[in-house]
Amino acid sequence: MPVCAVVIRAYNEAQHIGRLLEGIRHQTLRDVEVILVDSGSTDATVAIAKRYGVKITHIQPQEFTFGRSLNYGIREATAPFIVMASAHVYPVYPDWLERLLEPFEDAQVALTYGKQRGHAVTKFSEHQIFRRWYPDQSIPRQPHPFCNNANAAIRRALWEQHPYDESLPALEDLAWARWAQAQGYAISYVAEAEVIHVHRETWRGIYNRYRREGMAFKQIYPHERFGLRDLVRLWVSNVWNDWHVARREGVWRREWWNVMRFRWAQFWGTYQGYRQSGPLTWALRQTFYYPQSTPPVVSGREERQRDVAPIPYHEVEDWEV
């Protein structure tokens, strides 16, 4: 039996998926099954996956939700641990899987998730979000259910008890983690399990992503509110925070307008999502919305380095972004 299965959701990801599959090939953990859930790709996504010997299953585009796609993939897996990876992430280090699975030595850990960092094409404000959500220090047992299925792992036995919610438009990971904590299980954040997350979205795409997540958040926490006052306050505070970081990094002139547009798309989308669809803990509110009081003075790979050599990726045409 494989140690773990990596389940990848994809739709037209030919630009990125080769790099992820190459990164999996370089892992210190060898006994791994890889499952691609394709939701109707019309580019070379499936062909690239076949070159790597990936097991492929299909879901019709009209059936797709994030939770349903994951459930399709996990049903195909035989391993006791399931790793979820977005098709447009790739691991930085060859011990990514090993580190991500390490906390499962504790039988009470139901879910782990790893660090994410942006790519050269990532918008400035999203870099700040990644730094806020995914710190350099691991958290063996975090007090709230925040996690992200772009880089996470769960116990298959627990998924069999409680599959992902297929009705949610997003945040199926948060809903599952909330259920696991309610059963007395723990969630571990693993800073060493690092991936690069390539987001190259239009402004409309950013708005739609946060609108979708706002709708899902409202379904998970029905009594939560996000009004115009929240929108304005959070937009102003996050713009100010990002500007402060941009000044310290010497890029304010280039980024000031992009920061305003990104944060507006984020919080206007969230506001619209709440309008269209439980009590939110302070820890979760901070994690999702609030900037750090003291902005980090770091940029790109100036962050904490590990003693492990990164994976030596070789560029090929299908991976270029």
Instruction: Return all residues near 94 (Cβ < 8 A) that are at least 6 apart.
Output: 26, 27, 28, 308, 309, 311
Q: What is the mean pLDDT of the chain?
A: 91
pTM of the model: 0.90
Q: Which residues does 232 contact at the CB level (< 8 Å), separation at least 6?
A: none
Predicted confidence (pLDDT) at residue 8 exceeds the cutoff of 80: yes
Q: What is the pLDDT of residue 62?
A: 86
Q: Please give the pLDDT value at position 278.
A: 43
Pairing of strands 81-86, 89-91: unpaired
Which of the four pLDDT bands, split at 50, 70 and 90, describes residue 277? low
Q: CA angle at residue 71 from 160 to 26, to 5 degrees? A: 100
Q: Is pLDDT above 60 for 317?
A: no
Place of tokens 């306050």: 233
- First CA to last CA across the chain, in angstroms? 35
Q: Please give the residue that has the higher pLDDT: either 120 or 305.
A: 120
Residue of higher predicted confidence among 4 and 289: 4
Is the distance from CB of 111 to CB of 34 less than 8 angstroms?
no
Out of 68-77, 115-124, 283-292, 311-320, pick the least confident: 283-292
Q: Count other Cβ atoms within 10 Å, centred on residue 61.
A: 11
**160 pLDDT more than 50:** yes
In this predicted structure, the answer to whether residue 296 has a pLDDT above a threshold of 60 is no
Residue of 70 and 1 predicted with greater confidence: 70
Bridge partners of residue 82, in order along the sequence: 5, 154
CA dihedral 150, 152, 154, 159 (to 10 degrees): -20
Q: Tokens for 228, please give them.
A: 């115009």
pLDDT of the residue at 157: 98
CA distance 70 to 62: 15
Confidence bin at 315 (pLDDT 50/70/90): low
Q: What is the mean pLDDT of residues 121-126?
A: 96
Phi-psi region of 300 (alpha: psi -120 to 50; beta: other; left: phi over 0): left
Query: How many angstroms from the chain centroid is the CA of residue 141?
Result: 19
Per-residue model confidence (pLDDT) at position 1: 81
pLDDT(280) > 60: no
H or E element, residue 188: strand 186-197
> Where residue 200 falls among pLDDT bands split at 50, 70, 90?
confident
